[in-house]
Amino acid sequence: MPRLWWGVLAGLVLLLAAAAYVVYALVRSPPGATVVPVSRAAAFAGPRSPLAWPNQGEAALAVRGVGFIGSHGPGQPTPIASIAKVMTAYVVLHDHPLHVGAAGPQITVTPADAAVFDADRGTGQSVVPVQPGERLTERQALEGMLLPSGNNIAAMLARWDAGSEGAFVARMNATAGAMGLAHTHYSDASGVAASTVSTAGDQVHLGMRAMAVPVFAQIVGMAQTNLPVAGRQYNKNALLGRNGIVGIKTGTTSEAGGCFLFAAEDRLAGRTVTIVGAVLHQLASGAQPSIIAAAFAASTALLDSARRVVVKRRVLRRGTTLAWIKAPWADRVPLQAAASAALVGWPGLRTHTTIVERTVISGSVITGQEVGSAVIAAGTQHDTVRLVAARDLPSPSLLWRLTHP
């Protein structure tokens, strides 16, 4: 073949190779763009008003669904008296769940149960009258334990649930361990034993868990109940229904002093917020002639101060850049929040932003297009916002495709 033809053939091969490369460059998928989060740390702004911590004992405060505001005092295990019945009720309801409005199974009062009533009454304990053969529903027994604070009813429920009070107390301690209540130990179901101890922080944690059980929250929110033998019985929580308080349990012994684990509800910008607090080992004084009056006064002051601290506030403005689209063929494009976000908190509470959904980008993006979402969190609460492109991201140009194999 003449040399000329070899040259023509070589040229055709090169032309075909170039054409093939152009076709390949046009039809192949370009490398994907990536979504890169913006490093962002923020906190609730503003000065923080001081909390009215009691000048004795210990106390703790939290907002359910958000987290702990703080605690005060030694933070050492101390007797908690009848607040122990919160765990007793929690374990019983875990083992024998009740729906709101349900009575549950019947519990027959045994001669042993009646003997415990007589013995407890003889030592001046808080009791609810019972008779052998009397039948109480599970709901009635829980009401008798939580409202008038019947120590004998706590022991009766423990034996009904686990066969013996000792076996039941072991379940209480196992539950406390599973919850992370490292400073809590139960020796009995009623709390009359001085060796049943906890801290304010542990009890606030338990209180938030208990108030999440609807039937428990309903019972501790009752002002009174009517039982077959005992008749009308009243809630010992004298603050119930006042100052927003919706529960949960009082406790008094000479060793424990006055104790009060409380929950109060408020409305903040259309949202119900539950503040849970505990004050332990409050003693009588000239201003407060009884230990329970001292506990109520300390709780009221602490709750009032908490209301000046807890707010619902905008923590993210619409249009804030939370991430960038980075594509090798164009300048980066900001991804902005499509809406504002508001959360409940207090000055100093930190917020965190996490990009939780990222759309795979392999081509163009137009202004306003949704390209993922972000979660704004403070404590255990969160709000989700859409991420939208602040400007266009063009497709890769022909020149870029040809020069980036």
Residue 188 tokens, joined: 């009995």
Are both 124 and 6 inside the same structural domain? no
Which 3 state secondary structure label does DSSP give 326?
A: strand
Q: Which of 85, 187, 299, 373 is catalytic?
A: 85
d(C-alpha 302, C-alpha 217), whole Å: 21
> How many domains does the chain fold into?
3
Neighbours of 143 (CB within 10 A): 25
Q: What mean pLDDT is predicted for residues 184-189?
A: 99
Cross-strand pairs, 313:
343
Q: Confidence band (pLDDT; 50, 70, 90) for 269? A: confident
Query: Amino acid identity, residue 174?
Result: A
Concerning whether 39 is annotated as a catalytic residue, the answer is: no
Question: Does residue 250 fall inside a structural domain?
Answer: yes
Q: What mean pLDDT is predicted for residues 172-201?
A: 99
Question: Does residue 330 fall inside a structural domain?
Answer: yes
Q: Confidence band (pLDDT; 50, 70, 90) for 110? A: very high
Quick one: which H or E segment has residue 207? Answer: helix 200-211
Q: Confidence band (pLDDT; 50, 70, 90) for 380? A: confident
Are both 376 and 355 inside the same structural domain? yes
Q: Which of 29, 49, 71, 82 is catalytic?
A: 82
Domain of residue 368 covers: 31-44+314-403
Q: Tokens 């969190």: give the residue.
A: 377
Q: Strand 321-326 relative to strand 333-337: parallel, antiparallel, unpaired?
A: antiparallel
Are both 263 and 363 inside the same structural domain? no
Residue 131's φ and ψ, nearest 5 degrees, are -135, 145
Concerning whether 249 is annotated as a catalytic residue, the answer is: no
Are both 5 and 37 inside the same structural domain? no
d(C-alpha 360, C-alpha 375), whole Å: 19
Are both 164 and 240 inside the same structural domain? yes
Concerning whether 85 is annotated as a catalytic residue, the answer is: yes
Residue 402 confidence (pLDDT):
67
Going from the C-alpha of 298 to that of each of 63, 112, 261, 279, 367, the distances in angstroms are: 18, 39, 11, 7, 56
188 contact partners, CB below 8 Å, separation of at least 6: 84, 154, 155, 165, 169, 196
Question: Does residue 304 fall inside a structural domain?
Answer: no
Question: Does residue 379 fall inside a structural domain?
Answer: yes
**Number of residues that this document lists for the chain:** 405
Are both 67 and 194 inside the same structural domain? yes
Q: Which of 149, 187, 190, 299 is catalytic?
A: 149
The secondary structure of residue 121, as a DSSP letter, is H
Are both 211 and 233 inside the same structural domain? yes
In terms of pTM, does the model score above 0.75? Answer: yes
The secondary structure of residue 285, as a DSSP letter, is -
Are both 10 and 35 inside the same structural domain? no
111-157 confidence digits (pLDDT tens): 999 999 999 999 999 999 999 999 999 999 999 999 999 999 999 99
Lowest mean pLDDT among 1-5, 111-115, 230-234, 325-329: 1-5
Residue 38 confidence (pLDDT):
85
Question: Does residue 352 fall inside a structural domain?
Answer: yes
